[in-house]
Amino acid sequence: MFCISMTIMLIVIKNHQVKAALEVNQQVNRPLPIVWISGSYANTTWYGIWCRDPSTVRRLTHYEPRGTLVINWVHNNISSAEVKGACNGGFFTGLTLVGHVGIGTGWVGNDISTSSQLDRYAFGMRDRGRSFSFNILPMDISQQGNNYVYSLPSNIRQYPYGLSGIGLLVDNGQGRGRPNEGDNSPFLGRTSRTAIAWSNDRMHFFLIVATSNQRWTWDNTINFFTQELLRWMRENLPIWMRTFRQQLINDRVITQREAPVFFPDHPVNIQISYAIMLDGGGSSQIAWEWRRRNGRRAVRFHQEIRDGQPRQVPTFVEVNANAP
């Protein structure tokens, strides 16, 4: 009996070792699921995070009542063998939310009250799935006295994560045109922009920040998602991947052998089906970090500087995945 028990135990241990080895090999032998990208459009530099493996990438929204800088949050909340990115989220005044945010266990925030009727949307998403699934709806509008009140739609509240009070840029592949914003012209004029977007096959998810130089109008941002990003992924992505991976080789984050596996340099054909405008201006910030199991790490970030310092934000969008 003793010999039989020992034999069974050895077999179990061996199987666990094989399984662990397979999981490590699968991570090493596949492209990095969350990648830092950057380019220039309309005389403005843009920075982005490209998510390309929905089965391994988690996507969440967060609420920090006291505010935070996205770069600090990412750096302080990343684990070994993880790649993580984030960008700022919805609108706020002071640190009071203008709209709502899903935090996994429910939604927090405030209805929006305005004296004129505006275009305001909400989106909801789940943190996991075989695709980057989501839902976008106009906010519920009611009239109270002389004001219009915008509330979170019940169908969006069913999702654990998301934001409300934001603008819709691209709707089913078509640019929305300029929204009804009353006298809020800064929303339409040139400013730093933060936006997120999904491909039509739900297999690609983007976080984008555009700052510096001339900055983008509302129309520039629409054209970026309906035209420029598509062109860049076809024509510029291969060059970007070769350049970026060489930087990581020089920094000893990856080896020459790992480079083409983690960062393949082939073009990618996409179409953007939906894109959402988040808070921008002085709130615009984005961060990406890859902390390897061997302790080496790569960091990229950009944050808008106003009055000599970046702005603390109460909400942000996060993506993360296991990576070797």
Give CA–CA dist 129/125, Å, rounded: 10
pLDDT tens sequence across 22-50: 444 444 679 999 999 999 999 999 999 99
* Residue 123, beta-bridge partner list: 136, 163
Per DSSP, what are the bridge partners of residue 46? 39, 210
- Which pTM was predicted? 0.90
Residue 150 falls inside a structural domain: no
What percentage of residues in the chain have a pLDDT greater than 70? 89
Residue 41 domain-assigned (yes or no): yes
The reply to whether 204 falls in a domain is yes
Tokens of 192: 């730093």
Residue 99 pLDDT > 90, yes or no? yes
149 domain residue, yes or no: no
- Joined together, the tokens standing for residue 309 give 């310092």
Give the per-residue pLDDT at 182.
Answer: 60
Q: Is residue 68 situated within a structural domain?
A: yes
8 found inside a domain: no
Q: How many domains does the chain fold into?
A: 1
**pLDDT on residue 227:** 98
Residue 213 confidence (pLDDT): 75
State the Cα–Cα distance between residues 210 and 303, nearest whole angstrom: 10
Give residue-wise pLDDT tens across range 170-212. 999 999 977 776 655 567 789 999 999 999 999 999 999 998 7
**Is 209 a domain residue?**
yes
Mean pLDDT throughout 223-229? 98
Domain that holds residue 298: 31-111+125-136+166-322
* Helix, strand, or coil (residue 287): strand
pLDDT digits (tens, 9 = 90+) for 267-299: 999 999 999 999 999 999 999 999 999 999 999
Average pLDDT of every residue of the chain: 90
Distance between CA 157 and CA 57 in Å, rounded? 22
In a domain, 12, yes or no: no
